[in-house]
Structure 1
Amino acid sequence: MALSDLTLSVAVEAPQHSGLAGALHYSSPQDLPPGTLLRVPLGKRDLLGIVWHGSASDGTPPDGTQLRPVGALLDCLPPMAPAWLALVDFAASYYQRGVGELALAVLPPELRKLDPPGLAKRVARLLKKLDATPLPPTAPVQRPQLGPEQQAALAAFRTAFAQAGATPRPAPLLLHGVTGSGKTEVYLHAAEDALAAGRQALVLVPEINLTPQLEARFAARFPQHRLVSLHSGLTPVQRLRHWLLAHLGRADIVLGTRMGVFAPLPRLGLIVVDEEHDPSYKQQEGARYSARDLAVYRGHLERVPVILGSATPSLETWQHALPGPRQRYQRLPLAERVGGGALPRVRLFDMGVLPRTNGQSPVLAPMVVDSLRQRIAAGEQSLVFLNRRGYAPVLHCADCGWKSGCPHCSAWRVFHKGERTLRCHHCGFTERVPRACPDCGNLDIAPLGRGTEKLEEQLAELLPGARIARLDADTARGKGQLEARLAAVHAGDVDVLVGTQMVTKGHDFRRITLVVAVNPDSALFASDFRAPERLFALLMQAAGRAGRDAAQAGASEMWVQTWHPQHPLYAALKTHDFAAFAASQLAEREAAGLPPFSHLALLRAESRDVAVAQAWLEAAAALAAGLPGGDGVTVYPPVPPAVSKVAGIERLQMLVEAPSRARLQQLLVHWMPALHGLRSRHKGLARWAIDVDPLAI
């Protein structure tokens, strides 16, 4: 390092197990602003880095330390904005990940590979193409008439938008609208206001399969504005191009899944989180961040309005919007469907009254089958919902009791009849279906249970001549398959749509008048305290697919086939009373000291030997007891998760409970560095991770 060089703090993607949580130091002959993208050496590799806060300083490195010089600058791009750096800083600190690991992970993979000349060529080609293909001129666009509640919600947004720059922490807006109440139209009007002010709009959706429909709505409304999407379904080249358009300010609307919360937007003016309750907003690998919570924090940072939309808000969001001294969100109700349509009538069928054949109940109750036939005869569509893909969850030999378990996981391999395979949905291990029982040679091995593939087959037998289509992760796997199947439903080429939860939320099916929920009871008595909340939201969303056309809404209905028709959850579902359900759940959680009245973290450990993971977690618990913040925090004993073994690796988890978020963070900030050192004393530990605010326990 030359005497005239400066010391730069640079965020690089160091692996979590390295224990390098902060930015690294390099020497540079020039002062560079924070957010500058550049290449830097790390070990034998040449990596992308980002100049971080306090980047340049005079002075000498620590004794004996020889700083390596930075490499070439990616000077064809402007630096990342200070608000973006602050967002990543907060997320890395709160979710206990390395700042470089998170900062580089949320950038397009293709960007991390390119050298400065290669990137400069990409940017030049992109801008040249944009300039050669101007957007169409402004033309009148047909806008539906807003109802009174929509107008009130839009007025509240406009007040927030006008005051946003002057308000240090603008209150997020909870757009609590029943399914079909026109939440998307409110989003469109809010985006129109932001665009008219020269700002950009960020719209988040929970899953990839919801992006085509919403993208089409926004593209039709704003043909004179450039819209891009950001999600994992894009090719690396597409993702880089869309990211560049956002970062350069050339995209006016960014529509994305959870990764979109980190989109660099120099003119950000609005953030929308559609279906904010959806668990898909929580990342489950690597940095386990919540995109919804980070969207709210980003709104605070950049002083822009945040709209959280849902018919069934998460209980954390709902509690923030309850009137009182602790109210943090403004609730905007949309209690009526567009056009005055009625919500579907919910009917429960007690499966316990049906006679069994060979120990099994019929796939559908007779009254439900009659309802399906009536809808088909009337030229209407139906949705049959079963949240389990494949033909059957397991194959079984009645002679010796063999079942199609996975040799690498503590789970069954699912029978996929069309492919004639047994596939583990956890590790992916797949084999052809055996001709006979592997243990005793019995030729009569049979499927147990039912998945969407089998349900589709059974419906074809019950409803001869009906046009039946299936939509789940198996049928939507190939390129264009999802769009093609959805288009067939919208065109009226399908009488009965069979699907998993991917068809129950967000889709605007205008011809569906009947929804059937098959076997939803499994979540009623689950050990996870959030299971009832997720089930209620799923069933409410499923019911909302029926009767979205006001002309048919009065005759729409939902059948729920259940073994527990007296359960309070179904009583609230029958009246579409989310407020009553939320009040009962919040009362139960407060009595039990569960979130949102406490704050959790989950420490996970994995090893081929379960004893190694057990010993490490017990040592971690002992360590926590003596650290600042450890008093008053409860560390529960290690237990296995529902699927305790995946791909040959045993898994254990340990729950940490604190009365406040501050107390939990105080412990974590001291605990995490100590855990890195603890790992070296436990040979055989494959990996460990901390999950702050876990959704699945």
Structure 2
Amino acid sequence: MCSHAQSGVANKEADIERVRVLLPLPLEAIYDYAVPEGMVLEPGAIVEVPLGSRLLIGVVWDDAEAAGESLPISRLKPVHTRLPAAPLPQALRRLIEWVARYTLAPIGNVLRMAIPVSAALRPERPQRALRRTSDLPEGLRETPARNRVLAVAADGLARTASDMAREAGVGPSVVKGLADAGVLEWVELPVHLALAPPDPEQDGFSLGPAQQTAADQLRSRIGQGFSATLLDGVTGSGKTEVYFEAVAEALRAGQQVLVLQPEIALSSQWLARFEARFGTRPAEWHSELTPAQRRLTWRAVADGSARVVVGARSALFLPFTELGLIVVDEEHDPAYKQEEGVIYQARDMAVLRASLEQIPIVLASATPSLESVLNVKVGKYDAVHLSLRHGSAELPKVETVDLRRDPPPRLPNGARGWLSQTLRDRVQATLEAGEQALLFLNRRGYAPLTLCRACGHRLQCPNCTTWLVEHRLTGRLQCHHCGHASRLPSHCPSCEAEDSLAACGPGVERLDEEVALLFPEARRLLLSSDVLTGPAATDEVMRRIREREVDLVVGTQIVAKGHHFPWLTLVGVVDADLGLAGGDLRAGERSFQLLHQVSGRAGRAERPGQVLLQTYEPEHPVIHALVAGDRDAFLEREADARRQGSLPPFTRLAALILSAPDPTIVDTAATALARSAPRAEGLQVLGPAPAPLAVLRGRHRRRFLIKARRDLPLQTLLRDWVGPVPLRGGLRIQVDIDPYSFL
């Protein structure tokens, strides 16, 4: 009797299916759940499951056979609900797994990047709207206001009550009265992303012979499986128009396209060019979207109605179901490196996703990264070159101003100046010719340092080991790392001397102050991330420059990327040495890329351009390469130096950052980790040492750097080393594979 009962229970349990569900939490575990009778769950299905007392959204993961059989299925909690959202595609699930393994991040944290908008997984509430059903019934008085509403509604289209009132120029009570009378009826409209599909057959741009050849090469890769192609073209060579033709070919093949950009909020010109080529704007994905826009866009990507998406690095994790092409614009840009949370390089992960999807990827840049250039050399990537500017435009002439021989003169008010006489004269000549000039200084605010002339005290952030930057436009001192802000004090906090605080060094606000004194008649524009409040403000600023409402632009790196200003013929780099020094292994490469990009803003149309680099080191290899226009020779030297120093990309590098509110806790943990550091031939562990920013946001930081031969299993070594460390007392351990920032 007992054995029969047990057998019956066993048979019943055998009929119950179990699934593994991954939750978007900072966890490595994938939990087992029972599938309720009648519910069908395939891998990728999005579900709601109980965890403790909560209901959480999760994703059914693959390989149910690998679920932990130690727990009897009778003890498993059932899946609560299957949500109506489309399943997460298989290639995206593989990407999530791969990113978690590579970065050593909890897989749940990576999943959270793929489903960041939980509301998008539930049905959107239909929108209520009104449409006309009949004429005015007998007994309902005709009025001018009612007639205007009926005229608007005569086309039979459904509109929201507020839209109908606005178009008719009446109050909402007039519309409500007609609805109550039955003249207008309520209907429910589905809510979706209002985007027309891009038209690949719309007339494109006029391509020159070199551009046409490059476009043909990119088009030929569509539908041919995985390939990675570096689109390497000088500034102004028409790279965007060329890869647009590959986008058009993918659209003709019925595929979706993802275009990644480093700073999507600043891409107004790119969006205008896309609309000119395809007749509509693409879907956008970036931090400036409203929650409703994010919901609708995520859903439109998942259901395939968003055919082209342009986005920042997080767009890489959108649930494309028909992805046929990825483009990484400005592939060299350091903004593709995510430095918080899951630390990853979006360019490299984009190549991985293209490989998983078996589709082509295009990496476009005028100053490609050393990693991409070397990948072309060894045959991992193809290359398409555009060596000339489009049309009649020529590359600008680059010259140096040796500040040792041509120091900036004093200003008319006796204050110190930052522009040499040579640069002042060139700006004046440019303005007199009716052309535009750009003065570039990659330093926000008014001054990077404020000190006391009486005792030498420097104003420092209370949460970080960094100086406070004065922003005179807002009357604030600000930390650019943690966001701390305060008023500029009237006396020194150390010696209490009054009126003794002095600004040291220039930021763009101080440079703009100098320009106002030197060129009072010029129409000036200060351009930095502090003064641009969003995409709309950026669009307006760029329009003003293009339409020559501005004579002289003072800006940071925000003006260096992709903008086309036909009348801008002079670029003056105020401090070309900024960024050349420091402990960053990519300092030279980054400086070359940034200065080359900003130089490329000059002379992009018929008028020739010129660039002046103010420097104390005109013999520096970066400065020399810019003047000579010999990028390839610079990259060869850079590669040789990295190879000799056993630095990436010829070796692997990882950073380990320990942090805690209490310095004793972090020092104790760092010492213990140093004792247990892995040892292997070809592996070198450096540290622990205080990080350059030894205190950040109130947390004390210690750093290890790990160098490894490329054939060593770096992630396995790090996981075995760091995994057993107990995270007590607020201790955190951050692992950065292939670090870009060394602060």
TM-score by length of 2: 0.85
Q: Tell me the distance in 2 between the aligned counterparts of 1:115 and 1:540.
A: 44
SS at 2:321's partner residue? coil
Q: Tell me the distance in 1 between the aligned counterparts of 2:456 and 2:198.
A: 69
Residue 587 (structure 1) aligned with residue 596 (structure 2)? no
SS at 2:59's partner residue? strand
Q: What's the CA shift for 1:668?
A: 3.1
Q: Tell me the distance in 1 between the aligned counterparts of 2:589 and 2:452.
A: 36
Q: Tell me the distance in 2 between the aligned counterparts of 1:58 and 1:291.
A: 31
Q: Tell me the distance in 2 between the aligned counterparts of 1:26 and 1:450.
A: 61
The letter for the 1-side match of 2:620 is H
Residue 106 (structure 1) aligned with residue 114 (structure 2)? yes
Aligned 8 A contact 2:461 2:479 in 1: yes
Q: What's the CA shift for 1:374?
A: 1.2
Q: Tell me the distance in 2 between the aligned counterparts of 1:327 and 1:420.
A: 54
Q: Name the residue aligned to 1:13.
A: 24
Aligned 8 A contact 1:200 1:267 in 2: yes
SS at 1:161's partner residue? coil
Q: Name the residue aligned to 1:455.
A: 511
Q: Name the residue aligned to 2:715.
A: 665
Aligned CA distance change for structure 1 residues 576 and 86 (closer, same or farther; 3 Å): same
The letter for the 1-side match of 2:48 is R
SS at 1:583's partner residue? helix
SS at 2:78's partner residue? coil
Q: What's the CA shift for 1:162?
A: 4.5
Q: Deviations over 1:461-501 (max 9, x none)?
A: 11111111111111013563222212211121111111111
Q: Name the residue aligned to 2:682.
A: 632
Q: Deviations over 1:607-665 (max 9, x none)?
A: 12334223323323433426xxx553211112223222122211121111111155213
Aligned 8 A contact 1:426 1:646 in 2: yes
Aligned 8 A contact 1:32 1:55 in 2: no
Aligned CA distance change for structure 1 residues 592 and 122 (closer, same or farther; 3 Å): farther
Q: Name the residue aligned to 1:150.
A: 211
The letter for the 2-side match of 1:303 is Q
Q: Name the residue aligned to 2:737.
A: 692
Q: Name the residue aligned to 1:514.
A: 570
Aligned 8 A contact 2:453 2:501 in 1: yes
Q: What's the CA shift for 1:425?
A: 1.4
Which of 388, 391, 402 in structure 2 is aligned with 1:339? 391
Identity of aligned residues (%): 38
Residue 128 (structure 1) aligned with residue 136 (structure 2)? no
Q: What's the CA shift for 1:521?
A: 1.0
Aligned 8 A contact 1:540 1:576 in 2: no
Aligned 8 A contact 1:528 1:696 in 2: yes
The letter for the 1-side match of 2:539 is E
Q: Deviations over 1:239-285 (max 9, x none)?
A: 12111111110011000010111122111111100000001011010
Which of 76, 81, 91 in structure 1 is aligned with 2:89? 81
The letter for the 2-side match of 1:350 is D
Q: Deviations over 1:523-562 (max 9, x none)?
A: 222111111100000000001111111x11x3x1111100
Q: Name the residue aligned to 1:567.
A: 620
CA RMSD of aligned residues (A): 2.7
Which of 334, 343, 367 in structure 2 is aligned with 1:288? 343
Aligned 8 A contact 2:268 2:538 in 1: no
SS at 1:176's partner residue? strand
Aligned 8 A contact 1:209 1:502 in 2: no
Aligned CA distance change for structure 1 residues 94 and 139 (closer, same or farther; 3 Å): closer
The letter for the 1-side match of 2:649 is P
Aligned CA distance change for structure 1 residues 192 and 570 (closer, same or farther; 3 Å): same
Higher alpha-carbon deviation: 387-396 or 249-258:
387-396
Q: What's the CA shift for 1:54?
A: 1.5
Q: Tell me the distance in 2 between the aligned counterparts of 1:58 and 1:414.
A: 54
SS at 1:533's partner residue? helix
What does 1:171-570 correspond to in 2, within 5 Å? 171-223=227-279, 227-322=282-377, 326-354=378-406, 362-439=417-494, 440-477=496-533, 480-549=536-605, 551-552=606-607, 554=608, 556-570=609-623
SS at 2:713's partner residue? helix
TM-score by length of 1: 0.90
Q: Tell me the distance in 2 between the aligned counterparts of 1:366 and 1:586.
A: 37
Q: Tell me the distance in 2 between the aligned counterparts of 1:73 and 1:139.
A: 37
Aligned 8 A contact 2:435 2:551 in 1: yes
The letter for the 2-side match of 1:632 is G
Q: What's the CA shift for 1:287?
A: 0.6
SS at 1:522's partner residue? coil
Q: What's the CA shift for 1:172?
A: 0.5
Q: Deviations over 1:569-588 (max 9, x none)?
A: 11110122111110000000
Which of 217, 224, 248 in structure 2 is aligned with 1:163? 224
SS at 1:10's partner residue? strand
Higher alpha-carbon deviation: 428-437 or 196-205:
428-437
Higher alpha-carbon deviation: 142-151 or 419-428:
142-151
Aligned 8 A contact 1:613 1:685 in 2: no
Q: What's the CA shift for 1:46?
A: 2.3
Aligned 8 A contact 2:120 2:295 in 1: no
SS at 2:655's partner residue? strand
Q: What's the CA shift for 1:431?
A: 1.3
Looking at CA atoms only, which structure, 1 or 2, has the larger radius of gyration? 2
Aligned CA distance change for structure 1 residues 208 and 130 (closer, same or farther; 3 Å): closer
Q: What's the CA shift for 1:443?
A: 1.8
Aligned CA distance change for structure 1 residues 9 and 560 (closer, same or farther; 3 Å): same
Q: Name the residue aligned to 2:651.
A: 598
Aligned CA distance change for structure 1 residues 65 and 573 (closer, same or farther; 3 Å): farther
Q: Tell me the distance in 1 between the aligned counterparts of 2:244 and 2:350.
A: 18
Aligned 8 A contact 1:380 1:511 in 2: yes
Aligned 8 A contact 1:9 1:56 in 2: no
Aligned CA distance change for structure 1 residues 633 and 295 (closer, same or farther; 3 Å): same
Aligned 8 A contact 1:635 1:656 in 2: yes
Aligned 8 A contact 1:639 1:654 in 2: yes
Aligned 8 A contact 1:490 1:509 in 2: yes
Q: Tell me the distance in 1 between the aligned counterparts of 2:190 and 2:390.
A: 43
Q: Tell me the distance in 2 between the aligned counterparts of 1:91 and 1:140.
A: 37
Q: Tell me the distance in 2 between the aligned counterparts of 1:487 and 1:571.
A: 34
Q: Tell me the distance in 1 between the aligned counterparts of 2:304 and 2:489.
A: 57
Q: Name the residue aligned to 1:49.
A: 58
Aligned CA distance change for structure 1 residues 71 and 25 (closer, same or farther; 3 Å): same
SS at 2:275's partner residue? helix
Aligned 8 A contact 1:38 1:48 in 2: yes
Q: What's the CA shift for 1:58?
A: 9.0
Aligned CA distance change for structure 1 residues 506 and 137 (closer, same or farther; 3 Å): closer
The letter for the 2-side match of 1:5 is I
Q: Tell me the distance in 2 between the aligned counterparts of 1:694 and 1:360.
A: 41
SS at 1:280's partner residue? helix
**Residues matched between the structures, number:** 668
Q: Tell me the distance in 2 between the aligned counterparts of 1:137 and 1:515.
A: 36
Aligned CA distance change for structure 1 residues 327 and 611 (closer, same or farther; 3 Å): farther
Q: Tell me the distance in 2 between the aligned counterparts of 1:59 and 1:517.
A: 62
Aligned CA distance change for structure 1 residues 155 and 138 (closer, same or farther; 3 Å): closer
Q: Name the residue aligned to 1:643.
A: 693
Residue 25 (structure 1) aligned with residue 32 (structure 2)? yes
The letter for the 2-side match of 1:430 is A
Which of 669, 678, 695 in structure 2 is aligned with 1:616? 669
SS at 1:457's partner residue? helix
Q: Tell me the distance in 2 between the aligned counterparts of 1:122 and 1:302.
A: 36
Q: What's the CA shift for 1:26?
A: 1.9
